[in-house]
Structure 1
Amino acid sequence: MSTVNYTEIIFKIKEEYIKYTRVNEDGSVHFTLEMPVAEQVCPHCGASTRKSKGKRPRDVKFGAIQHHTVTATYLQRRYKCQECNHTFIEKNPFVSRYLRLSKTNMEYLFRQLGEKGSFTEMAKRSDVSVSTVIRYCSKLAIPKPAQLPTVLGIDEYKGNADGQIYQVIITDLRNHSVVDILPKRDTRALIQYFKTFS
């Protein structure tokens, strides 16, 4: 039998963090995760502490593997600083604060942006809603280039930035890459944008 821990390779879940595993009839997998008590640094005063102050359950979506969803209940531990009496949550490799989407699932979601496919297909593969995919994609920012390429492509597309129905995408036609995206498609907005380059 193989001793390779695929949950750690794929989802960054160490075997010692898994308290329970449940495989449902539909093939989906659910973990109960808990990290051991460990030395923590207080984010308020920088003191070290090991004083645990209970755990709170968090639902985390890890995506899908072989078309079966992987979810977890993460029993996130809270600590109390003995120097300043502040409480804070432990650091973990699974999920960022306030989010339900695991770090590995977010990485997978953004890797899919390099492939052809719709938001609906991306959502299905990552086991999230279409609106979640759109929300995360809208957070991506394309840095403004220092200079423009020799050959530009300018086109409009439907979007929702700044309350506008249509936006403008500027592309480098020779390298087949996006140069920038402008929130408005009117002539004045284009002139103002191009004035910023020598």
Structure 2
Amino acid sequence: MEKYILRTLNLIPEDVKSIDPIPSKNGHSDYLITLKIKDHFCPKCGCLTNGVKDYRIQKVKAKIFNDGSTTVFYKSRRYVCKECGKAFKERTTLIGDKKTISQNTAASILEDLKPYNSTFSSVARKYNVSVTSVMNLFDGHVQIPPGTVSEIMCWDEFYFSRHRKNKYAFIMLNFRNKAIIDILESRRTQFLSDYFFQIPTNLRNRVKIIIIDMNSTYRDIAHAFFKNATVCVDSFHVSQYFNDALNRIRKKVMNRYTKDKSSIEYRLLKQR
């Protein structure tokens, strides 16, 4: 069993001091792993040291059995340099810097995200990790190349997440085939400017029409980076604009008859 666990976690047996099973509340087998003390080079001054400063128990998400619910507790050791006093964590293949998911589990998560019908939520449940952890893992390892700008593009934003720094994301569509060209994490002016600046001028000059809502940011960006494009407002927002304007006038006229709410004028305007 120990050899299987070590192989699954990409650990060399000679580097491991102990691997002990510990009781778990959910009935699964959890394990506490402690590595052997080794000489480390100080990242600050480069001196060789094996002086231990302290320990702390670190929880590592790792898929050891098929149910994916086994938790590995890693007795993380901090070394201290005897020359300069610098404290630093021991280096191990068990986890990387600032990570709580083992490398083996991270690879398995990325593999399970490959099917088109996989979702972040389903994979997170399988490996007993948070949805945010799966999303961050995906964003850190998967780079999807953007599509090519089309002659007619649609720009819009959509609500992404209240947990993110930028709650609204920006999306570009090809008007002819409705295909997504790219999705950006922010709709802010500086972010969009930096993105479109990277697109070659000859490609930007091919764009003929850009369809937007009434967001002035999109209008200004389109005029600045797409010199040959005509900026249009989509019909939905035009209709919404006129409907809202008429509704404001209706309410203004209706308020003239509030003293007699039983009057025909008030009741007709109220029902519109």
Q: Provide TM-score, normalisation by structure 2.
A: 0.54
Question: Per-residue displacement from partner, 1:61-103 (whole Å, max 9, x unpaired)?
Answer: 1135211422112111121212112221111111233332222
Task: Indicate the percent of aligned positions where both proteins have the same amino acid.
Answer: 20
Give the C-alpha shift of residue 151 in structure 1. 9.8
Aligned to 2:7, the other structure's residue is in SS state: helix
Give the C-alpha shift of residue 20 in structure 1. 0.5
Distance 1:81 1:96, change over 3 A: same
Rg bigger for which structure?
Answer: 2
Equivalent of 2:4, from 6, 19, 37? 6
2:45 equivalent in structure 1? 45
Which deviates more from structure 2 when the two are superposed, residues 10-19 or residues 136-145?
Answer: 136-145
Distance 1:13 1:81, change over 3 A: same
1:163 equivalent in structure 2? 167
Instruction: Give the unaligned 5+ runs of structure 1.
Output: 172-176
Distance 1:53 1:193, change over 3 A: farther
Distance 1:131 1:148, change over 3 A: closer
1:79 equivalent in structure 2? 79
Question: Per-residue displacement from partner, 1:8-27 (whole Å, max 9, x unpaired)?
Answer: 33221344524212475966
* Counterpart contact for 1:53–1:79, Cα < 8 Å: yes
* Counterpart contact for 1:158–1:167, Cα < 8 Å: no
* Counterpart contact for 1:155–1:168, Cα < 8 Å: yes
2:134 equivalent in structure 1? 133
Instruction: Give the unaligned 5+ runs of structure 2.
Output: 188-211, 228-272
Distance 1:117 1:46, change over 3 A: same
Aligned to 1:65, the other structure's residue is in SS state: coil
1:174 equivalent in structure 2? none
As a proportion of its length, which structure holds more strand? 1
Distance 1:96 1:67 in 2: 24
Distance 1:61 1:76, change over 3 A: same
Q: Which amino acid aligns with 1:180?
A: D
Q: What is the CA RMSD across the aligned residues, in angstroms?
A: 4.0
Question: Per-residue displacement from partner, 1:24-46 (whole Å, max 9, x unpaired)?
Answer: 59662311111111110101111
Question: Per-residue displacement from partner, 1:148-192 (whole Å, max 9, x unpaired)?
Answer: 37899979765247332x531568xxxxx9863234475548847
Distance 1:57 1:150 in 2: 53
Q: Which amino acid aligns with 1:82?
A: K
Residue 90 of structure 1 pairs with residue 115 of structure 2: no
* Counterpart contact for 2:31–2:72, Cα < 8 Å: yes
As a proportion of its length, which structure holds more helix? 2
Distance 1:67 1:153 in 2: 45
Distance 2:7 2:224 in 1: 45
Distance 1:105 1:191, change over 3 A: farther
Number of matched pairs: 189
Q: Which amino acid aligns with 1:120?
A: S
Aligned to 1:109, the other structure's residue is in SS state: helix
